[in-house]
Amino acid sequence: MCRHQMQDRLYKQLQAACDAHIAQQLAALQAHTQLAPAAFLEHVAGMWDDYCSQMLRIRSIFLYLDRTYVMSLPGLRSLFDTGLASLRHHLTEHPKVESHIMRGLLDLIDRERQGEAVDRQLLAGLVRMLGDLGLYSSTFSPRLLQETAAFYRDEGLRLMEAADVAHYLAHCESRLQQEQERCLHYLEPSSRRPLLHAVEQQLLAAHTPQILSKGFKMLMSAHRVQDLARMYSLLSRVGGTDALRDEWRQYITTTGTAIVKDEANDKEMVERLLQLKAQLDGVLGAAFQGCAAFADQLSSAFQAAVNSRSNKPAELVAKFIDAKLRGSKGVGEGELEGELDKALVLFGYIQGKDVFEAFY
C-alpha cells in the first residue's frame, strides 16, 4: 500500500482504529471506578499492558510505514506516539478514571508508609504509564508531594510528643531511607530530592528546637555518641548545626561550671574536669566529625567554665601535678607523662597562671 501511494490513507485508518479501541478501553475502565483503589489499579495495569503489547505489534507490522512515510513528514507522530496521544486525550475525556488512578496510587503509597506490604511492581508499571503519557510531572507529582508533606507533618507532631529523641532521630533516618528506596523501585528519579526535602522539613526542620531541648543534654549525659552523630548528620541536612552548636556550648559551660563550683568535692575537681574534657573530645571527633566550629566552641566554653571560679582551679591543678610527680615511684614513664599532659591541657585554659606558679 505504501508503494502504491496509499500511505496517508493507511496512516489515518490505523489512527482511527487505535483511537476507537482506546475509547472502548477507557469506557470499560469507567465502569470499574466503583471498585476499591487497589482493585481498580489492577484493571488499569491490564489495560496498559494490553495497550503496549498491541501498539508494539502494530508498529512491527507497519514498520515500513513508520520508518518511511511518518519520518518523512515533519510534525507527524510515530504510530506508538499517536497511540499515546490518543490515550492521553481519552483520559482527559474521562476525568473520573484519571482521578481514580491518581487516588489509587497515592493510597497505595500511603499504605506502604504505614507499614503495609504493597505490590511495587504494579506501582512501577503505572508510574511508568503516567510518565509516558506526560502526566507524572504535571499531575501526579504535585499531589504526591502535597500528600507526602501532610503525612510527615502529622507523623512528626505525633511522634515528637510520644517518642524519646533517640528513637525519633532513628525513625527520621529510616524514613529518609524509605523514600529513597521508593524512588529507586517505582517513583521517577525526579521525585527523589523533593520527597527527601518534604521529609526533612516536616520531621526535622519543624522540630529542631524540640529535638535539641528534649534530647541533647540527655544524650550527652549518657554519652550516646552514635545518637549524637545521627543528630548532627540529620540536623546538618536542614541547617540546624548552628542551633546544635549553641546547645553544645551551653552544655559544656553548664557542666564544667557545676564541677568547678562544687566546693564540697574540690579534691575531685581536676579528675572530673579531665574526664569531662576527654568525653567532650570524644564526642567532637566521633559525633561532630571534628568540625572546626564545634572545636572552637569547645575551647571557649571549657575555658569559661574552668575560670568561673577565681584561683581555686589553678591551685588544684598545681597540687594535682605536684602529687603526681611526688607519687611517681612505681609508675611507668609513659603513664606519668600521659597524666601530666592531661593536666597541662587544663593549665592551658587557666587565665590566672600566676596563682598556679605560686602554688606550684
pLDDT in tens, 171-213: 999 999 999 999 999 999 999 999 999 999 999 999 999 999 9
Instruction: Give the Cα separation of 256 and 269 in Å (integer).
Output: 10
Angle among Cα 151, 154, 156 to the nearest 5 degrees reads 105
605560686: which residue's cell? 358
Burial of 257 (0-12, 13-18, 19+ CB in 10 A): middle
CA 106 to chain centre: 20
Q: 19: which 3 cell numbers?
A: 483511537
Q: Which of 240, 235, 130, 122 is nearest to 191 (CA)?
A: 130
Per-residue model confidence (pLDDT) at position 268? 92
Per-residue model confidence (pLDDT) at position 2? 44
Instruction: Give the Cα separation of 188 and 134 in Å (integer).
Output: 12
Per-residue model confidence (pLDDT) at position 316? 87
Instruction: Give the Cα separation of 272 and 316 in Å (integer).
Output: 12
Give me Rg for the CA atoms of the chain.
34
481519552: which residue's cell? 90
* CA dihedral over 222, 226, 230, 236, signed as positive or negative: positive
* CA dihedral over 189, 195, 200, 201, signed as positive or negative: positive
* Positions in the chain whose pLDDT score sits under 70: 1-11, 61-79, 326-338, 352-360
Q: 203: which 3 cell numbers?
A: 520531621
Task: List the end-to-end C-alpha distance of the chain, in Å, as a whole number.
Answer: 109
% residues pLDDT > 90 (the chain):
62
Query: Under DSSP, is residue 127 helix (H, G, I), strand (E, B) or coil?
Result: helix
Instruction: Give the Cα separation of 193 and 199 in Å (integer).
Output: 10
Instruction: Give the Cα separation of 71 and 150 in Å (integer).
Output: 47
**pTM score:** 0.85
Query: Under DSSP, is residue 163 helix (H, G, I), strand (E, B) or coil?
Result: coil
Sequence-ordered list of residues with C-beta below 8 angstroms from that of 106, at least 6 positions apart, any chain: 143, 144, 147
Residue 98: HSE in the Cβ half-sphere, 13 Å Cα cutoff: 17
Contact 219, 228 (CB under 8 A): yes
Contact 205, 240 (CB under 8 A): yes
Contact 251, 220 (CB under 8 A): yes
Residues of the chain by 3-state class (helix, strand, coil), percent to 5 = 80, 0, 20
